[in-house]
Structure 1
Amino acid sequence: MTLSWIKTVLVAGLLLTSAVSARAQAPESTLARIAETGTLRIGYSPDAAPFSYLWADGKPIGYSIDLCERITQLLQKQLGLDKLEIAYVRRTPSDRVALLQDGQIDIECVASTNNAERRKSVAFSYPHFVTAVRFVALREGGPRVVADLKGRTVASTSGTTVIGELNATSREQGLNIAVMPTPDHEAGFALMATGRVSAFVMDGILLSNLVANAEKPELYQLSLDTVGAAEPYGLMMRRDDPDFEDAVNAALVEIFTTGEIGPLYDKWFTMPIEPHGINLQLPMSEELAAAFENPAKAID
């Protein structure tokens, strides 16, 4: 037995072992698991109205939740299942990516910004909303534009893309803004409302909802300008699972192009919503309407 032959056998053995290991560690097909279990696991937030929040009975509701419940119906049809149940899994801004990667949720149905940095970790559906980062402050004596934040301390929710965008803006404009991370949106809003920070920085639509549902909305004002350009929201999914991603996008295309999306959008953004009957009075923007008309182009 020659030395070269032994080396060949060892290399072949290592290659075989690597191939078997790779197959063992390959992520499970989400569609295959759904078909086998008859359950779709949806990640939700309890405090991201009007996209995802809890109703009095503890059930998640919201614009993104409605979308995902309709997607579930269409996936059931695509897979030829008699029934497809939903299992709701609570997620936070900090653990949502890990829950997707670990397979504890199949799709996150909240309000997550689709940008290049985040796409390194997760996949996104076609856009279902477009917004830009703003800040909210006390109307009396509070900052009004981003430049007013120079040298101040602000709050923002940890685990979001907002903190990175805010820090980049601070560096570029020499603003020296100090950022205090908070576990959720309500905590950040409370810090601003009690004067412990100068502003709470987050996506404009989420701030609008927080102000509208505050005990005294007249005390607060949104910034007159934005931190960076507008970006799309998408439903987050695990990377490297193109079949599931395609199935979700096919469902969204049906919702967007058959007239379903208009009434669904109006329900959450131009009509009174629970729990306080607040109307956000936010008609669909031309940019979002264009995204619905041609969703694939909207993320090019």
Structure 2
Amino acid sequence: MIAPRVVVLSIAVAGALGAAAGAASAQPAGTLEKVKASGVITVAYRDSSIPFSYLGDGGQPTGFGWEICGKVVDQVKKAVGRADLKVATQSVTSQNRIPLLDNGTIDIECGSTTNNSDRAKQVDFAINYFYTGTRLLVKANSPIKGFADLKGKKVVSTTGTTNFQVMRRMNQEQNLGFELISAKDHADAALLVQSGRADAFAMDDILLYGLRAGALNPADLAVVGDPVQVEPYAIMVRKDDAAFKKLVDATLAGLMKSGEFEALYKKWFQSPIPPKGITLGAPMSRELQDNLQALSDKPAR
């Protein structure tokens, strides 16, 4: 009597597994298949990563990275044969951007995400499109002029960023003696400095320039210190999605070879930008100039 029960159970289990396998095989294999089937591509944006991805006039996403995402979407429409492709938007933070990409909530993120080896285990990165280093945002009258002046101070950095890890490691290895606190996003961290609840905000220098430019009184803030650990930014796509990464890389390569990338750079880093029409005045780094030729997606360590 035992044997027949085992057989019936085995058949039931096999049937269930077969159905599950069939359902799985019916799912789109990659981003291009997914958006072609759904008619929607979901593009992630950041609320305050000026000038890469942030909310501008009318509370709409804008920025250097956001505009490049638009160029990618144009190529996706051609690749999947859907001129009617809709673009959905999704706000992300440093903490949830990778999980939301991994679970399919978003399809691409063109913000201020550092391309490093740890993240490359979870996602893939396109050609690097910016290089930056960690510096400090302080009040203009602050005695802090560099990292050596942080002893006994409160230093904030954004949760989930490489900058937070850099500062924690520096504090331990160099015995700098500061208190490291976390903020949920860049705007919150900058507010802690402006309100006096933190003495310095450690973040990528270009983001600090953007936050300073967007402040009520930019002259009240200063970006100080020599850059620490220069790292690349890159567009994030899902892991092992070769076809979509190839499309994104080709889009970037086309922009870089045609000169359009440099025009976009001048627009967002060397010209007045919304919402206040302030110019960041950030020249293109030597690393980025070199990568316009190399077209490398090499991660930071």
Report if TM-score (shorter chain) is over 0.5: yes
Instruction: Give the share of equivalent positions with the same residue, in percent.
Output: 35
SS at match of 1:275: coil
2: distance between equivalents of 1:165 and 1:48? 19
- Residue 224 (structure 1) shift: 2.4
In structure 2, the residue matched to 1:87 is 88
CA distance in 2, matches of 1:55, 1:218: 21
What letter corresponds to residue 248 of structure 2 in structure 1? V
Unaligned runs of 5+ in 2: 1-5
Where in structure 2 are the equivalents of 1:1-300 lying within 5 Å?
28=28, 29-227=30-228, 229-296=229-296, 298-299=298-299
CA contact (8 A) 2:125 2:297 kept: no
Cα-to-partner distance string for 1:168-214 (whole Å, 9 max, x where unaligned): 11111112332111111111111112221110111100101111222
Q: How much does 1:141 deviate?
A: 3.4
| Equivalent-residue separation in structure 2 for 1:200 and 1:270 (angstroms) | 24
Change (3 A) 1:295 1:48: same
Shift of 1:286: 2.3
CA contact (8 A) 2:116 2:299 kept: no
Rounded to whole Å, the distance in 1 between the matches of 2:144 and 2:216 is 21
Deviation of residue 15 (structure 1)? 10
- Structure 1's 128 and 15: CA in aligned 2 closer, same or farther, altered over 3 A? farther
Tell me if structure 1 keeps the 8 A contact 2:146–2:224: yes
Q: Partners in 1 of 2:169 and 2:19 — Cα distance? A: 44
Q: Is the 8 A contact 2:127 2:297 kept in 1?
A: no
- Bigger mean CA deviation after superposition, 84-93 or 24-33: 24-33
- Which stretches in structure 1 are left out of the alignment for 5+ residues? 1-5
Give secondary structure in 2 for the equivalent of 1:246.
helix
Deviation for aligned residue 1:24: 5.5
1:13-58 CA-partner distances (Å, limit 9, x unpaired): 9999889867756884111011122221100012111111112323
Q: How many residues align?
A: 292
Moved more, 140-149 or 42-51: 140-149
Deviation track 1:206-254 (CA, whole Å, cap 9, x = no partner) reads 1011112222222222122123x21000111121222211221122111
SS at match of 1:276: coil
TM-score (norm 1): 0.88
Name 2:3's counterpart in structure 1.
Answer: none
